[in-house]
Amino acid sequence: MKTSAWALVLLILLALAVLAGVAWGSAQLGIAQVWAVVQHQLLQQTGQASAVPDGVLPHYQIVWMIRLPRVLMAALVGAGLAIVGVVMQAMVRNPLADPYMLGVSSGASVGAVSVLAWGVLAGAGLYAIAAGAFLGALAASVLVYLLAQQRGRIPSARLILSGVAVGYMCTGLTSLIMLTSGQRDLANALLGWIMGNLAGTQWPALGLPAALLLLGMAWLLAQARQLNALLAGDETAATLGVTAERLRRQLFVVVSLLTGVMVAVSGAIGFVGLVIPHVTRMLVGTDHRRVLPIAALMGAVFLVLVDGAARTWFAPMEIPVGVFTAFIGGPFFIAMLWRGAAREER
Amino acid sequence: MLRAQGLDFSAGGKTIVRGAALHVDAGECVGLIGPNGCGKSTLLRMLYRVLPPQRGQVWFEGQDIWRMDARAFARQAAVLAQASAPAFDSTAREAVMLGRLPHQGRFAADSAQDQHIVDKSLKRVGAASLAQQSMATLSGGERQRVLLARALAQQPRLLFLDEPTNHLDVRYQLELMRLVRSLGVTVLVVLHELNIAAQFCDRLYLMQAGALVASGTPREVLTPEAIHGVFGVRAAVDDHPATGRPRIAYWIDHD
């Protein structure tokens, strides 16, 4: 199947997933009721309707104020984490790389909660949290990269162990900061930051991740061929006119920005960046001009569906979405390790 | 075409290349030979603009290669390095298309000309039928030919090869070298096997412990004395009955 066909299928799936995501929940709604609210809101935006009609009102709050922003945020975060996974795997030339596994998400969490707990730059709100998360992500990713290197190469085992070690330290720091901050609501939010949680998303929070996702995607697509060269190895890349070290430095910044903003709005959600790029490559090959957009769409569909499941499976209790992605991603990772080991033995 | 002078490189307190000077003229096939660990690959990497020399200079057509833009140099010179297994699988055609990278703009799609050059490159190395196969399923010889096609897709005037026949069966060794010679580009090749070097190269540089110790035609360089001095084996050199090129037989004394 061609890439454009996959893109179309995934776009349709995304639209269906968003509708389903809004309909699912403790108060079960029909697609028609969801559509009525969305339609009304669109008309109101364009000045063709004013008051909320009586038939729509009871669902308006749930659909427009609670579920839709959350579902859209799931789509943004899923897309963002998926492309971060794609890029990190190219950077370290290893299909096992993932922002959560390599401690980058946990580093971002440390940065985000530091801002929350100590009120550094607190006036800037989400921007301050995202900035903190960016710095945390950058520090963690550079640290893991340096630790994992061994004579210019990055062996899988060393990469994962470095990532896990840095990730644990960061998770410990996050917990310590939150528990000692003296702010009760911060301590209560601890699980959400460490596991990843999309509950309570509001409309204004969508702007920054959406903007950074679009900018990051555009920049990465401009580097897509360079990323292909990076997969072939630094030496080969150099003989094709690509300076791998410089490209990698730029990628560190972009990956940390994207991870930072995604963690700032949702906490550290694991394994999306591991599962989605792998499945994408099985469908469309390794060329980043195809992998990046397809992985973004697939990540969006995936996280919308998984978040829907996390909200409803144990209803009325809500489970953080990261718990569910871990249940899917963990076995997936083990399967990849097995296959990798089998390949190395051959 | 390519000229180097006074190249030095050392790492970890150990000298790997010292005072290397060489030149490659347009249309030549020049071989670089020497025992394992003598610094051949390091010298070659300094020449193809991946490893900055600690002293000395390299010029391509009179231009200092380190003052050239990396992309501009990649349009003039291509490299076929020792084969290594890729971490991510791609089709042979995708691997060859990568060779168009130094010619392409950032956002431009692969042009009809790019497609044409890729097809032609695959055909020239006899790998047109492998185009849609995954690189992981190819044999060592097939993979080397595809990677040679990638180098050709760069449309280089100068081709660097680092032990291209390593791990290949004798038939593939000969085929690959004959193919390289038939391309009509200038070649600088690091070779392990002296008989291959004698058969396919116009000139040779002999390297020992980081220094170039002899240069000239294969017949001038590959003397029994030089081979004994550098490789530590006894050798007899005569004429190859079929090609007329120097032929080397080795042995080692029992003592």
What's the average pLDDT block by block, 10 residues per block, for chain A (346 residues)? 90 94 79 80 75 69 86 96 95 87 90 81 74 92 88 77 92 88 74 81 91 96 93 89 89 92 89 93 92 97 94 84 90 83 54
Handedness of CA B26, B170, B220, B232 (dihedral sign): positive
Radius of gyration of chain A (CA): 20
Radius of gyration of chain B (CA): 19
> CB-based contact (8 Å) between B49 and chain A?
yes
Per-residue pLDDT, A50? 64
Residue whose token pair is 């871990």? A326
Quickly state the pLDDT bin for B18 (edges 50, 70, 90): very high
Per-residue pLDDT, B206? 96
Percentage of chain B exceeding pLDDT 70:
98
| Burial of B170 from C-beta contacts in 10 A (0-12 / 13-18 / 19+) | exposed
DSSP class per residue in chain B: -EEEEEEEEEETTEEEEEEEEEEE-TT-EEEEE--TTSSHHHHHHHHTTSS--SEEEEEETTEEGGGS-HHHHHHHEEEE------SS--BHHHHHHGGGGGGS-SSPPPPHHHHHHHHHHHHHTT-GGGTTSBGGGS-HHHHHHHHHHHHHHT--SEEEEESTTTT--HHHHHHHHHHHHHT-SEEEEEES-HHHHHHH-SEEEEEETTEEEEEESHHHH--HHHHHHHH-SEEEEEE-TTT-SEEEEEE----
Residues of A in contact with B155 (CB under 8 A): none
The single-letter code of the amino acid at B143 is R
Residues of B in contact with A239 (CB under 8 A): 48-50, 74, 77-79, 81
Nearest CA in chain A to B152: A240
Quickly state the pLDDT bin for B136 (edges 50, 70, 90): confident
Point out the residue among A89, A226, A235 whose CB comes nearest to the CB of B81. A235
CB B6 within 8 A of CB B55: yes
Interface of A with B in 62-101 (CB under 8 A): 89, 93-95
Q: Does residue B148 register a pLDDT over 90?
A: yes
CB A160 within 8 A of CB A101: yes
Per-residue pLDDT, A53? 67
Structure-token pair, residue A302 = 């995936």
Per-residue pLDDT, A93? 86
Three-state DSSP state, A150: strand
Q: Does residue B255 register a pLDDT over 70?
A: no
Structure-token pair, residue A326 = 């871990």
Per-residue pLDDT, A267? 87
Per-residue pLDDT, B228? 94
Q: Does residue B203 register a pLDDT over 80?
A: yes
Residues of A in contact with B70 (CB under 8 A): 238, 241-243
Point out the residue among A232, A236, A241 whose CB comes nearest to the CB of B70. A241
CB A236 within 8 A of CB A229: yes
Residue among B88, B97, B152 with most chain A CBs within 10 A, to mutate: B88
Q: Do B50 and A235 touch (CB under 8 A)?
A: yes
Task: Count CB atoms within 10 A of the CB of residue A196.
Answer: 31
CB B39 within 8 A of CB B198: no
Distance CA(A267)–CA(A74), nearest Å, equals 12
Residues of A in contact with B50 (CB under 8 A): 235, 238-239
Per-residue pLDDT, A49? 65
Residues of A in contact with B103 (CB under 8 A): none
Beta-bridged to residue B91, according to DSSP, are B134
Tell me the per-residue pLDDT of B72-105, one tens digit each, with 9 for 90 and over.
999 999 999 876 667 788 899 999 999 999 999 8
Three-state DSSP state, A83: helix
Q: Does residue B224 register a pLDDT over 60?
A: yes
Structure-token pair, residue B218 = 């294969």
Distance CA(B24)–CA(B5), nearest Å, equals 12
CB A290 within 8 A of CB A114: no
Distance CA(A289)–CA(A277), nearest Å, equals 13
Enter the DSSP assignment of A198.
-
Three-state DSSP state, A22: helix
> CB-based contact (8 Å) between A290 and chain B?
no
> CB-based contact (8 Å) between A125 and chain B?
no
CB A131 within 8 A of CB A121: yes
- β-pairing, B77-80 vs B158-162, is parallel
Per-residue pLDDT, A342? 59
Mean of all residue pLDDT scores within chain B:
92
Handedness of CA B43, B46, B52, B55 (dihedral sign): positive
Q: What are phi and psi of B2, to 5 degrees?
A: -125, 135
Per-residue pLDDT, A346? 44
Residues of A in contact with B154 (CB under 8 A): 240
